[in-house]
Each structure stands twice: as C-alpha cells, then as structure tokens.
Amino acid sequence: MREIIFDTETTGLDSTEDRIIEFGGIELVNRFPTGRTFHVFINPQGRKVHPDALAVHGITDASLADKPVFSGIATELVDFLDGADLIAHNANFDIGFLNAEFSRLDIPMVEPSRVVDTLAIARRKHPMGPNSLDALCRRYGIDNSHRTKHGALLDSELLAEVYIELIGGKQAALMLDVQNSDGGDASGGGTIVVIKPRPRPLSPRLTDGEIEAHRQLVETLGENAVWRVVEPSYAAAARGS
C-alpha cells in the first residue's frame, strides 16, 4: 500500500485566486517511510503573499522570485502522487488548491476517493479536541519543538507520525515476517503476516504441586466443568483411564 503524506503553503485562503507556493510530501509504503520525498517552493506568478499567510509560514515574495512556476514542476509532482492515497490535515484545503492548480493546466484533478483527511479522523477519535497538528503532536508525545513556522515538508514529517498514531499506533505497522500470497516478498500487492512459532516451547511455570491442587479443585466442580473440556486428561480421569 502506497500513501503520500503531504502539505501545502499558499499565498492566501482562496484557491480560486491564491496559489500554492510550497509543496512537501513524503512517501509511505505499508505505513513505513521509504525515504522518498518531494519538496519544492513555487513562484506564484505575480500573486502576492497575504500578510496573514506570511505570519503563518514566513515565506516572502522576494524568496519566491527565482523559484519555478507550477507548470514547471507539475509533471514531476503528478508522477510522485500517481497511484497513491493522499493524506493531509484538513485535506479539503490542500486538495482544493492542488485541484485548482491542476485545472489551470488541464491536468486531471485528484479524485475524492484517494483522499484521507487526518483532521476528520482526529475529530472522530478525539471529539473533545483540540485537533490541530501541534495539539496532536502534544497528545502523542511527538517532538515538534523545532516547528516555529509552518513548513510543508516539516509538517508532512510530523503528520506522518501523527497519522500512524491515529490509525492505531506503531504496532499497526509492525511486519514480523511478511510474504505475498504467492510466497514472494511484500514489495506490493496483498500481504499476509506470518508469526513464526517458537523453536522450543516455553518452560512450564507451574510446579507439580500446583498442577495437582488444580486437578483436585476441578474434581469438585462436577462433570460439566469447563476444565474437563479444555484439558483432555481430566476427561480421561473421569472415565477411569
């Protein structure tokens, strides 16, 4: 399973007028980061950064002057996103901006079925909130002390850790011995988890005296005692074997 955790920074809040100025995404396969990322700053083609947006992410008009325009990075971005579920916090905002940029270039827009909103998951799991990214980092003990401003790649890295916690914690990603149904490795497709038996059973922790005391207790419980069903030797003893 391939997923992209991503975030955008923009010139403002209106996707019909404002533009994406930063994209950051990281790739997960089977809920593990692969190390593959896509990060780029983008020239908004004359659209000025709104002061309120500047206060959030700190990206200035001057710093964007020599960056590529969206059409210059679109093919690489589409290739990075292709075939993956897209995961974002308050995803409607980010997907709205992505689709607005794609539509300007006649690129097919992202289908809603591919989108996972971690804010919606957090609100279901923690209905009393708060459920901002910073609040969720505090809730799950994720270090975000280096996050003094919003940044697309940093926020994606933090969100990846939050996402794993939201869907059940790191245990959900533990793959002890993974094989495809055809016996190959788990590089893709449907996988199963095989938990190998111990090479030797654990040593018994009950003494002979404790076992005998339990046996005597079972004898007082009657012929329908559940222990006579789950422990065959008791049933044999009742038949005089």
pLDDT score recorded for residue 233 = 60
With a cut of 80, say whether residue 202 has pLDDT above it. no
Q: Is the pTM of this model over 0.75?
A: no
Question: CB–CB of 49/21 below 8 Å?
Answer: yes
The domain limits of the chain are 2-174, 208-238
pLDDT score recorded for residue 148 = 64
Calculate ∠ Cα 89-134-156, nearest 5°. Answer: 45
pLDDT score recorded for residue 222 = 76
Give the model's confidence band at 214: pLDDT under 50 very low, under 70 low, under 90 confident, else very high: confident
pLDDT score recorded for residue 175 = 42
With a cut of 60, say whether residue 193 has pLDDT above it. no
With a cut of 50, say whether residue 227 has pLDDT above it. yes
Q: For 31-45, 82-96, 145-159, 196-210, which range has the lowest pLDDT when averaged over its residues?
A: 196-210
pLDDT score recorded for residue 198 = 61
Query: For 157-174, what is the mean pLDDT?
Result: 79
With a cut of 90, say whether residue 165 has pLDDT above it. yes
Give the active site residue among 39, 57, 146, 150. Answer: 150
Query: For 227-236, what is the mean pLDDT?
Result: 60
Nearest to 145 by CA among 158, 156, 132, 128: 158
Percent of the chain with pLDDT over 90: 62
Query: Which tens digits make up the pLDDT trace of 67-104?
Result: 999 999 999 999 999 999 999 999 999 999 999 999 99
pLDDT score recorded for residue 29 = 93
Query: For 12-19, what is the mean pLDDT?
Result: 96
What are the Cα distances from residue 31, in Å, to 42, 59, 132, 173?
28, 31, 22, 6
pLDDT score recorded for residue 188 = 39
What are the Cα distances from residue 127, in Å, to 123, 124, 130, 211?
5, 6, 8, 49
Q: Which CATH class is domain 2-174?
A: alpha beta
pLDDT score recorded for residue 199 = 67
What are the Cα distances from residue 129, in Å, to 41, 144, 169?
32, 18, 18
Active site includes 150?
yes
Question: CB–CB of 118/89 below 8 Å?
Answer: yes
